[in-house]
Structure 1
Amino acid sequence: MLFPSRLVQRFFPIVLLFMLMIFGAVYIYSVPFIKDKVYEIERNSSRIALDNVFTMADRMYADTESYQQQVLESHKQRLKIVVSMAESYIDQVYQQVKKGEVDLDTARASVFEMLRHFQSIDGDYIWVASYDYRFLSHPDERFHGKDVSSLKTDDGVVVIPEIIDVAKSQGEGFYQYKWNRLAENQQLDKLSYVKNFPEWGFVMGSGIYLEDVAAELEVKRNQALDDLRESFKQLRVAKTGYLFIFDARTNMLIHPNPNIDGTNIESLLNPVTQKSIADDLINVADTGKELYYKWDKPEDPGNYIYEKLSLVRHVKGFDWYICSTVYVDELKSSSEQLSDRILTIALISLLVAIAMAFFFIYWVTNPIKQLADTALRVSRGELTATVGFRRDDELGILAKTFDEMVKRVRDNIQDLDLKVESRTLALEQSNQQLMDTVMSREKAQYALTLIEERQRIILDLLPAEVAYFDTRLQFQFVNQRYADALQKSKEEITGQSLAVLSQNQYQAMQAQLAEALNGVESAREYSNWSRDHQVITKRLITPCYDDAGNVVGVLLVALDITSEKEVEKKLLEAQRMSAVGHLAGGLAHDFNNLLSIILGNLVSAAEHYQKDAELQRYLKPSIRAAKRGANITNRLLAFSRRQPLAPLPCDINVLLQETIELLQGSLPSNIELIFDQNKTHGLPFVDPGRLEDALVNLALNAKQAMPRGGEIRFSVTDLNVETQSLFLDEEVAAGHYMQIKVADTGQGFTEDAMRMAFEPFFTTRSDVGGSGAGAGLGLSMVYGFVKQSNGYIKVTSAPGQGAEITLLLPAVEVELVAGPVDSQEYEHKEWKGKLVLLVEDDDVRQVVRELLRKMGFNVIESSTAEEAEALIAVLEDVYALVSDIRLNGETNGYDLADIFKFTHPMSRVVLMTGYAFDENSGREGKHHYKVLQKPFDIKQLQKFFEIEDEE
């Protein structure tokens, strides 16, 4: 029998006492607490499930509202297209009248008869009415050719004359009225698009019935209800709890009990209050309180004695009531069962732990002595000594490691010799590779000779006429197609002057050749007739230079572009619309890249010359202007893709000072900018960039209203609205606001201008010379920003007395605004010396590299995705990948990031882009990456890395 050592005898009683104390403390402080918390958790699970379903239903309603707008807008566009198609057809017929191919009366009769029988695939028809209120064309025999000047609807309203008069004055528009379907008598709400054609003397329209639009929306609502029903199948509250939905008319929409689902529950009574259970549920909706009542159980139907609790939420959009319900005794049973089980497990664990503690202490102390004896032998120089035991625990690892350390000391000299031999072999292999490279270059030279010969063959086969002249305008080379065009052989032309050309050919080329000899590249298009068709040719003449930059020859390329011109003509209309989107995206992307370079260099200069106050006075406005340029490009991209705002508390006094400093250089000297600076206790909670845009727009509008000069005055005050008695563009909700006023001494607004001030494209100025002065987007953009920021706006003015624009923006109380970050605090101890792979294919790479180096990183660069892939495969310990999304070739930044993550799963990825929309959307890749918007400065880049580190 093994006798325990004195170490075991000393420590085991202490461990036993400590374990008993822990058990007592756990029981006293944990079991009652756990019982209460489990009951509370079970009780709150129904609230969580209910809130999740409420959120889902609320989002479904928002989707339905958006879908309604999309459906109505789609129908409006379809009506415009239908009328436009009819207009095109009428115009073609009237062109025949002008050419004398058909007389006017026959043409009109033919047009109106065709329009009567026209009907689109969506069932739309067209009607035409004269200015004297007579239907010239209508598919319904009851109205065709009839005078409708006194025709009234069931409500006694004369519709058609009013629509015709409005269309004549406004040109075109949408009108809602009541009208019956074809071959039916019931009048329904109808929306028609009507357009006036004064050159033909009539108005034309086409419409849809709003009942059809409502039917589409009802399908969408039923789909939302089906989605909720499917979601309810996955939800459970406690063991037998459940959720159900009924509407404001107490119709049960969703219920797990088929006997109740789809019925009206107004007659079901609450046994506790003896009132309708539906009314009781409605009364507690959205109060946060639970409804207590008694109900039966599935295993005991009809016996309403079991206590239940219900929570209710009201979805205002659908007018639904979503309820969760659970039995009280079921909530309590879980906590009691859990407490009993915890106590049982704790007792068993205590007994097992006592036994294990005894054997563990004995088991641990025995090998310690062996380890100590071996260490003593090694310290005396016996390097062949070993511990003498092997175990699979930490002591075994310690023994094995100790033996390995002794062995490594013994083997170090031998390993060093092997490494020297290996490095020598590697050097010999490198020399062999160098010799192989020299041989490869000689083979490449021979291949180049073959390529030149093939190029001559290719030039002969090109579908273009190619010729090369020296500075004396003598032919040095022509391809076969050019020789065929002159009906001569290549040998007859080579070495000859332009005399081999006809007089007309020589005169046509003379001006272009003279420009090319002066170093000017030019392109001309000309046409001639070949048999029975016209051939359009594009002639490109390009100067060729030597190493010193002198013109040594002229290259002529003539291309037959007849087919391209035909295709261009056919696709011209489609290309115009496509060009707008591509031009906006391309310009904004390139401009953002340029701004990244400009902003990066300006910030670096500002940091380098911080003590030069005179230079800083010029650099700071330039930096702000560059950042404002970035905002402009984002708004250009937002032409078709709405960008979300990024609100945050901002110092309005500093922002206004910077805005005024930015405006002073762009306003004439006869306009004075005044800022009435007041001490404020809050900060507006808005997007600072968008607020600066709004203030600039207001200042530039004020400038246009003061052609002879004047004052523009800015003022800022705190405003607490305690009751809903203040009215701007709408009634102001109670809360804390920041009031910003921009007043001028200009011409003011007329009554019509006040009424239309916030309408898009409305302007009182003409666009002279295409300058854009009359674009009419200024106030509408300000209005959109204010409303998106949950604010209010008001225009106060009178003609000739100036104008005042009041912005009311939500504010937050801020006691301290953080100061600027020291430009020397960009380095982070975790980043110092870490390696970053930078992938960028334009001039932005140099700017980003300098920012990364300032942050303490070591940077390795790549200009192509293919080169970056090769580096990823061989580099180790890469801290992060920084890459543009748009790269030359088939691989983009997201693909490259996926490759990088596969090889370096723990490293970080920073993607950059000059586009405002989310290019990550719709990807099927494994990872989802955050994107840094160009242009950016070192603070934004540093913050981006810090966010990645936190994650």
Structure 2
Amino acid sequence: MYGHPFDDDNADPDIWANRIHASDREEVLHQLRSVIAGAGNVWSHEYRFMRADGSAAIVSDQAFIIRDEAGTALRILGSMRDMTEQRELEQKLRESQKLEAVGQLTGGVAHDFNNLLTVILGNAEELSELLREDSQLRQMAEMTATAAARGAELTAHLLAFARRQPLQPMVSDLNRLVQGMEGLFRRTLSEDIDIEFVRCAGLWQTEVDPGQLEVALLNLMVNARDAMPLGGKLTIETANARLDEEYAANHTEVIAGQYVMVSVTDTGNGMDPVTASRAFEPFFTTKAAGKGSGLGLSMVFGFVKQSRGHIKIYSEIGEGTSIKLYFPRSHLAASAIAPAQSEEAVFGGTERILLVEDDDLVREHLANQLTSLGYQVLQAGNGPEAIGILWETTGVDLLLTDIVMPGGMNGRELAERARQFRPDLKVLFTSGYTENAIVHHGRLDPGVELLSKPYRRKELAAKVRRVLDSDS
């Protein structure tokens, strides 16, 4: 039974009790003894029972107590049913429902919340520029901008966990991506932490969003750093990996095949199995109050899953933690990664832009920013109004539109209608939450340009300029 040999001639009366999981044994035996000592004839309980291979099965035990006329228990007849697979399926269903609930909640607030943060962040930046001569007031403006940016990060992390962030994957060489992040990683770690990079020769290509991978690895770096307050060693390793059918059968959502693996390993405090099992839950943290939001690892988890990958955590108390990210192998050639724009460079222009935004505050703020960059700005509060302006106005170079809007026409539908009579019109979408208008299976539709709210002035300027200068 459960891999244990059965010898009817040399049956140990305590063999059943000895194979109950140590953490459950006292409670199970106490309940059974209570029933035997009482007048009941039926006992049932669910607990963990150890298999011969050392793993624990979840069993449902049903027992019937046979008593004599005086009510004294004479014999117990019982049977165990293995509930492990059923309970695992139920757990997966609960996780799926939790994920959907978080996604609906986050999506519901992300659009409006990011609209507000766009105005707050933008105005704080402008105040910071205007108050260059007043250091105290400028510092207050910069603090406001920093707080708004942190609010945006929280929303982004929740969207990432719920697998509802828009990804822009590119066929990439993870060795090159990690090498490009080396300087950032070294600045993140304290001097008493040694960092080692172990790069696999002949590493396969994979399709991944470079920007989100950087954020994910940075989150893992920060967690590793915090787990080594007295210093230690951190290792980043890449490797080719094959997850076979047996592994896939034991891990939900894993498809057997070839993967590219990148891992972050520390020599820190480590985690016990219970803590490790909850590490990817949103808002779960073992850090002191104010030291962490509990969203870092959940963001990494969501990003990997949305990238059709797999994530595995290994940890032992006093030994450290290793978190491995697996991304499916791609047989396509690596994509060219555009060079990063200079942080100080802000380029404008004189083109005519039709701005479509249903939120009055955001529309006014965005129009002011575009005007300050030299552009001619036309404004509309919804899709039908924008179509009317396009019919009556010539020389519109760019349609800059929100995605989620009232009026029976979202941003994607507006762009499609506009291009029916303005086929050369360039389009830039902006939104705090995209829903499914331009994102399918977690990825931006081909050819779509998106500026996610909230954004800084230089990000707006760079994105508008890039779309206007593009050939498509």
What TM bracket, shorter-length normalisation?
0.5 to 0.7
Deviation at residue 584 of structure 1 after TM alignment: 1.8
Amino acid at match of 1:162: M
CA distance in 1, matches of 2:395, 2:324: 56
Deviation at residue 162 of structure 1 after TM alignment: 1.8
Q: Is the 8 A contact 2:405 2:411 kept in 1?
A: yes
Alignment of 1:943 onto 2:461: no
Q: Pick from 711, 714, 727 the counterpart of residue 231 of structure 2.
A: 711
Q: Is the 8 A contact 1:758 1:780 kept in 2?
A: no
Match in the other structure for 1:745 = 268
Q: Pick from 60, 63, 66 the counterpart of residue 132 of structure 1.
A: 63
Q: Secondary structure at the match of 1:162?
A: strand
Match in the other structure for 1:858 = 376
Match in the other structure for 2:428 = 910
**1:780–1:823 distance in 2 versus 1, CA, 3 Å:** closer
Match in the other structure for 1:835 = 352
Deviation at residue 930 of structure 1 after TM alignment: 3.6
**1:904–1:716 distance in 2 versus 1, CA, 3 Å:** same
Q: Secondary structure at the match of 1:710?
A: coil
Match in the other structure for 1:397 = none
Deviation at residue 589 of structure 1 after TM alignment: 0.9
Aligned ranges 1:751-900 → 2 under 5 Å: 752-753=273-274, 757=277, 761=281, 782=300, 785-786=303-304, 797-805=315-323, 818=339, 820-821=341-342, 824=345, 826-827=347-348, 833-840=350-357, 841-849=359-367, 852-853=370-371, 857-863=375-381, 868=386, 871-890=389-408, 892-894=410-412, 896-897=414-415, 900=418
Q: Is the 8 A contact 1:607 1:823 kept in 2?
A: no
Amino acid at match of 2:465: Q
**1:579–1:860 distance in 2 versus 1, CA, 3 Å:** same
Deviation at residue 588 of structure 1 after TM alignment: 0.9
1:893-929 deviations in whole A, cap 9, x for unaligned?
A: 455546644664543333322213322589xxxxx99
Q: Is the 8 A contact 2:427 2:449 kept in 1?
A: no
Q: Pick from 78, 86, 94 the counterpart of residue 174 of structure 1.
A: 86
Gaps of 5+ in 1: 1-104, 109-128, 135-146, 151-160, 177-190, 195-575, 611-615, 665-670, 923-927
Amino acid at match of 1:694: A
Aligned ranges 1:411-426 → 2 under 5 Å: none
CA distance in 2, matches of 1:865, 1:763: 38
Match in the other structure for 1:591 = 113
**1:907–1:782 distance in 2 versus 1, CA, 3 Å:** closer
Amino acid at match of 1:883: T
Q: Is the 8 A contact 1:885 1:913 kept in 2?
A: yes
CA distance in 2, matches of 1:907, 1:609: 38
Amino acid at match of 2:452: K
Alignment of 1:691 onto 2:188: no
1:580-623 deviations in whole A, cap 9, x for unaligned?
A: 6654223211232244345656777999999xxxxx99999998
Amino acid at match of 2:109: L
Alignment of 1:932 onto 2:450: yes
1:566-591 deviations in whole A, cap 9, x for unaligned?
A: xxxxxxxxxx9998665422321123
**1:815–1:637 distance in 2 versus 1, CA, 3 Å:** closer
CA distance in 2, matches of 1:786, 1:577: 14
Q: Percent identity?
A: 28
Amino acid at match of 2:347: Y
Q: Is the 8 A contact 2:401 2:428 kept in 1?
A: yes
Q: Is the 8 A contact 1:912 1:932 kept in 2?
A: yes
Q: Secondary structure at the match of 1:590?
A: helix
TM-score (norm 2): 0.53
Q: Is the 8 A contact 1:836 1:859 kept in 2?
A: yes
Amino acid at match of 2:86: F
Deviation at residue 690 of structure 1 after TM alignment: 3.0
Q: Is the 8 A contact 2:396 2:425 kept in 1?
A: yes
**1:944–1:779 distance in 2 versus 1, CA, 3 Å:** same
Aligned ranges 1:200-349 → 2 under 5 Å: none
Q: Secondary structure at the match of 1:833?
A: coil
CA distance in 2, matches of 1:784, 1:676: 26
Please, what is the CA RMSD of the aligned residues? 6.2
CA distance in 1, matches of 2:285, 2:109: 28
CA distance in 2, matches of 1:909, 1:763: 37
Match in the other structure for 1:652 = 178
**1:796–1:761 distance in 2 versus 1, CA, 3 Å:** closer
CA distance in 2, matches of 1:921, 1:912: 13
Q: Secondary structure at the match of 2:401?
A: strand
Number of residues paired by the alignment?
367
Amino acid at match of 1:676: I
**1:940–1:710 distance in 2 versus 1, CA, 3 Å:** farther
Q: Is the 8 A contact 2:401 2:430 kept in 1?
A: yes
CA distance in 2, matches of 1:601, 1:880: 24
CA distance in 1, matches of 2:160, 2:113: 15
**1:714–1:905 distance in 2 versus 1, CA, 3 Å:** same
Q: Is the 8 A contact 1:882 1:910 kept in 2?
A: yes
CA distance in 1, matches of 2:323, 2:463: 33
1:496-520 deviations in whole A, cap 9, x for unaligned?
A: xxxxxxxxxxxxxxxxxxxxxxxxx
Answer with 1 or 2: which has the greater Rg. 1
TM-score (norm 1): 0.30
Aligned ranges 1:308-457 → 2 under 5 Å: none
Q: Secondary structure at the match of 2:435?
A: coil
Match in the other structure for 1:919 = 437
CA distance in 2, matches of 1:905, 1:724: 46
State the structure with bigger RCO (CA 8 A, min sep 6), 1 or 2: 2
Deviation at residue 849 of structure 1 after TM alignment: 3.1
Match in the other structure for 2:72 = none
Q: Is the 8 A contact 1:885 1:893 kept in 2?
A: yes
Deviation at residue 826 of structure 1 after TM alignment: 3.3
1:293-323 deviations in whole A, cap 9, x for unaligned?
A: xxxxxxxxxxxxxxxxxxxxxxxxxxxxxxx
Deviation at residue 886 of structure 1 after TM alignment: 3.1
Q: Is the 8 A contact 2:161 2:302 kept in 1?
A: no
Q: Pick from 56, 64, 80 the counterpart of residue 162 of structure 1.
A: 80
**1:791–1:622 distance in 2 versus 1, CA, 3 Å:** farther
**1:623–1:133 distance in 2 versus 1, CA, 3 Å:** farther
Q: Is the 8 A contact 1:634 1:916 kept in 2?
A: no
**1:637–1:793 distance in 2 versus 1, CA, 3 Å:** closer
Q: Is the 8 A contact 2:110 2:432 kept in 1?
A: yes
Q: Is the 8 A contact 1:913 1:931 kept in 2?
A: no
Amino acid at match of 1:652: V
CA distance in 1, matches of 2:127, 2:370: 16
Deviation at residue 174 of structure 1 after TM alignment: 1.1
Match in the other structure for 1:366 = none
**1:887–1:803 distance in 2 versus 1, CA, 3 Å:** closer
